[in-house]
A and B are shown apart, each in its own frame.
Chain A
Amino acid sequence: MRLQSYLEPLVAAALLVCLPWTLGSNTLATEAVTLALPVLGGTLIFGYSGLLSFGQALFFGAGSYVAALLMKEAGYALVPAVAGATVAALAIGVAVGAVSIRRSGIYFVMLTLAFSNLGFFLAYSASGVTGGENGLLDVPRRTGILQALGVNLGDSTVYYGLCAALTFVGYLVMLAIRRSAFGSVLRAVRQNERRAVILGYNARIYKIASFAIAAAFAGLGGALNVGLMHFVSLSNVSVGMSERIVIVTLLGGGQSFLAALFSASIFTGLSDMLASLWPRWMLVLGLIIIVIAFGLEQRVGFAPRDILRRLVLRVKPGKPPQSSART
């Protein structure tokens, strides 16, 4: 276990360092890490709280719009704008989580989907603030006080470095949560919520907290995405974005945070590669997802943590996560 506790962060760091070379582009690598952040959050709520949310685009989009408005309208530099956007997404996550977790299973999924649609139409309608369907254009990427330290966020390599560093910190936070008492309670709630309540834990508070943390991660990803694109697309808050986060979370197995990083990187790279080879690339991607989904069901799917455990530690993988609907 001791070896594993060091090995996983080292592999994660190596992945993030090598990503621009592996994907062949700083911008593609940056997009991969901005997707990895909501996927880390998705893994926490699905794998540890048993909550399958189809509304993560709401927080990704909220992070994007808040960061963009802070930079464009209020003149903030990128780092404080990103921090503000993350806090805003966290606050929205608390509010949405407090309502949504009152229902479980399919009803929870429907509520998160409804909130996501609400966010989409709000962004669509408030075109004076969000740019509506045209998007929020001309968002500057201001370096701010980091300029004095010789940092130039306008450089794509430097920007990737910042995004990768924040993603790595996010990954370490998730590892800390997994190893903490908080993480243990989340797992207990997922396995048997009634038993956890009888033991004296307020399951509702724990679920809201994990939901809000996942929202903050999605908001952080959305805010960093704005820095990459210099604009906010309405698609950031669409159901399509929620689907993407769910798919990549499930491809990662929903248990391992390292797998979440790998699946976001592979999904982004694979989408880009297939798109350049064949216009109907989504068919191929769909087939790959079907194969992996069947593999996941039988525990032979893509999950680097499992692979690591099998290869290095010779340990059999654990059971797949169960939705709280079944408990």
Chain B
Amino acid sequence: MKRRSFIKGLAGTAYVAAMPTIVRAQSQKIPFAHITPFSGALAELGPDTEIGCKVAIEQLRKQRNLNFEYIRVDSESNPSVAVRKMQEAASSSGARLFVGANLSSEALALGKEARNIGAIYVTSAGADEITGKDCTKSMFRWAVPTRGAVDGTIKPLMKLIPNAKRWYAITPKYVFGDALLRNTERVLKAGGAELVGNSYHSLTEKEFSGYLVNAAAANPDVLVLHNFSAQGAACLRQAVSFGLKSKMKIVMVWSAGLDQLLSLGPDNLEGIYVGAQYWHTRDDATNRAFVAACASHTKAPPNNNTAAGYAMTMAIAAGMTSDKVDIPQIIQRMEGKTINGVTGPETIRPFDHEITKSYFLLKCKPKASMANQYDLADIVETSSSYPAQSESLCKFA
């Protein structure tokens, strides 16, 4: 009896002695902030991106014992609010790991602030400056920039329809639209085709009939839509109403992905070419697992923003070997790392912190060929195009 008590006591003492370590290993929380618009003009970005972050966090908890504590930060679609809330999350929650599907202006300001407070920030915003002249050591970007989007849509389309020599563009007068137009001109010129015209419109435009009449009068083989989001959808819908779909091919270079295609519907979309950062039917084990994991959070398959939330979270985790948040070390480990991501292999370039990934050219299906309401398009080309190091304007200060 005495011996048994002794052994029990010894075991108990050993357990108690080891307990703090065990507890620490299981419950050390790592503050992880997701800073994205949940209200304001781009409120639709937040909820979808959040699902992606949460799916990644669940996987990291199970597979790598990394216990990310999710903190939702609403940037209110306002760069000033975003910066102030990043400061607050850092001071009140001790957060140093940030991700966000932000406006480009928000992302640029957050990248600078992340550097100021000694944090990491991964974004999926589109501005070329993010990994160009305004890059910082603290900022990473998961999204194909304008050059890659044009290379990933116009180039393969030129191969698919080699007789198409006359192209016409409709472009929002905006830094982003201008960058797309510049790249389209470059690609067409290199491929021996001609941009026979371009119609600029303002960022507040909702009615595109005037631009579409000009496009029809130019009699092009292909109509290139550089506008995006609600403007892209409105412009495409009106182009279909004008009957342009039967007279020429139409390509939307930068779509918002599944949600936008769902809103347009198969009747409008049939035969249209669309560029996308992510497409849920991409067939490989990682993406299938991701799509299945998202099913417990939402009925619809994941869209661009959900994939971005997942990929951005995984990119940070790629730099972590333990629950210790040592920012310079995490950055160092992230650099050069290749992740088996939802778009295929994704590599973090050390010289500009671009997370290189694939861009998808989709061809929208007729309604009769769709397996379900989400089966709107097939991937016809997968490509990846980024400026080379020699062309990069990124100089880490």
Contacts and interface: CB of A to CB of B under 8 A. Distances in A.
Interface of A: 24-28, 31, 127, 132-135, 137-138, 156, 225, 228-231, 233-236, 275-276, 279-282
Contact of B109 (A24, A137, A280): A137
Contacts of B127: 134
Nearest to A238: B78
A65 B353 CA distance: 30
A134 B105 contact: yes
List the 8 closest pairs (A to B, CB-CB), nearest first.
A279-B38, A233-B79, A27-B87, A233-B80, A279-B39, A275-B74, A231-B109, A229-B83
Nearest to A279: B38
B129 A134 contact: yes
Interface in B18-60: 38-40, 43, 46-47
B368 interface: no
B112 interface: yes
A275 B39 contact: yes
A28 B79 contact: no
Contacts of B39: 275, 279-282
Interface of B: 38-40, 43, 46-47, 72, 74, 76, 78-80, 83-84, 87-88, 91-92, 104-105, 108-109, 112-113, 116, 127, 129, 134, 174-175
Nearest to B86: A27
Contact of A230 (B74, B92, B112, B174): B112
28 contacts: A24-B92, A25-B88, A25-B92, A26-B91, A27-B84, A27-B88, A28-B84, A133-B104, A134-B127, A135-B79, A135-B109, A137-B108, A156-B91, A229-B84, A230-B83, A230-B112, A230-B113, A233-B79, A234-B105, A235-B79, A236-B80, A275-B74, A275-B76, A276-B72, A276-B74, A279-B43, A279-B46, A280-B39
A231 B91 contact: no
A235 B112 contact: no
Contact of B91 (A27, A31, A138, A234): A27
A28 B80 CA distance: 11
Contacts of A135: 79, 105, 108-109
Nearest to B47: A279
Contact of A229 (B38, B91, B109): B109
Contacts of B83: 229-231
Nearest to A283: B39
A279 B74 contact: yes
Contacts of B88: 25, 27-28
A229 B134 contact: no
Given A134-B175, A233-B105, A281-B39, 8 more contacts: A24-B92, A27-B87, A31-B84, A127-B175, A137-B112, A276-B72, A276-B74, A279-B74
A133 B105 contact: yes
A64 to B, nearest CB: 10
